[in-house]
C-alpha cells in the first residue's frame, strides 16, 4: 500500500498508526518547522560574553529572537491517504521549545562538571512530539509550547 500527501509544513518525525472507533486504520502526524534559535551558534561565533547576553535577552524578550512558527496536526486514512481531519495549532513565537533555552546553562554546567558529561547543552526537540493513539482512536501529542498535550 503506497500513497503520499503534500503537507504545508515540515514533517519532522514518524506518524502514529491506529484505528478509528469504527475500526478503520488511520495515521496522525504533527507538522511544523523546528525552532530556529541555535544558542550554541551564538557562543561559537561571538564568544561567551555576547553568547550569554543573547541567551539572557532571548529568555526575557523571546519575540526578538524568533518569528511565529506555524504548526498543525493532521490525520489521514491509512489505506487511501485521504485527509480525515486537519487542525492548525497556535503559532509558537519563541526561539526554542519551552524549557530548552531555560535549561541550557544548567545542562552545560552538568557537562563541564562531569555530572553528565555525555549530555548535549542544547536539546532542540522537534516542534511536535511523536503522536500516540489511544484504544478509542483519540490521538495525543506534545507541542513546543509545553502546555498540556493535545
Which tens digits make up the pLDDT trace of 10-31?
Answer: 888 889 999 998 899 999 999 9
Supply the range of the domain harboring residue 69.
Answer: 16-95+126-136
- Within a domain: 102: no
Looking at the structure of the chain, the number of domains it has is 1
State the Cα angle at 29 between 24 and 30, rounded to 5°.
145
d(CA 143, CA 72): 10
- Within a domain: 47: yes
d(CA 32, CA 9): 5
Q: What Cα–Cα distance (Å) separates residue 66 from each residue in 34, 45, 86, 101?
A: 11, 18, 25, 13
| Prediction pTM value | 0.77
- Residue 44: CB atoms within 10 A of its CB come to 10
- Out of 49-53, 77-81, 135-139, 142-146, which region has the weakest mean confidence (pLDDT)? 142-146
Amino acid at each position: 500500500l503506497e500513497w503520499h500527501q503534500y503537507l504545508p509544513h515540515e514533517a519532522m518525525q514518524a506518524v502514529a498508526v491506529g484505528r478509528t472507533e469504527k475500526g478503520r486504520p488511520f495515521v496522525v502526524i504533527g507538522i511544523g518547522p523546528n525552532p530556529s534559535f541555535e544558542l550554541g551558534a551564538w557562543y561559537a561565533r561571538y564568544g561567551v560574553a555576547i553568547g550569554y547576553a543573547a541567551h539572557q535577552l532571548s529568555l526575557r524578550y523571546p519575540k526578538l529572537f524568533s518569528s511565529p512558527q506555524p504548526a498543525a496536526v493532521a490525520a489521514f486514512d491509512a489505506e487511501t491517504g485521504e485527509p480525515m481531519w486537519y487542525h492548525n495549532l497556535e503559532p509558537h513565537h519563541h526561539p526554542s521549545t519551552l524549557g530548552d533555552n531555560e535549561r541550557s546553562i544548567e545542562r552545560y554546567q552538568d557537562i563541564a562538571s562531569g555530572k553528565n558529561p555525555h549530555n548535549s547543552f542544547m536539546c532542540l526537540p522537534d516542534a511536535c512530539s511523536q503522536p500516540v493513539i489511544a484504544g478509542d482512536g483519540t490521538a495525543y501529542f506534545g507541542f513546543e509550547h509545553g502546555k498540556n498535550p493535545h
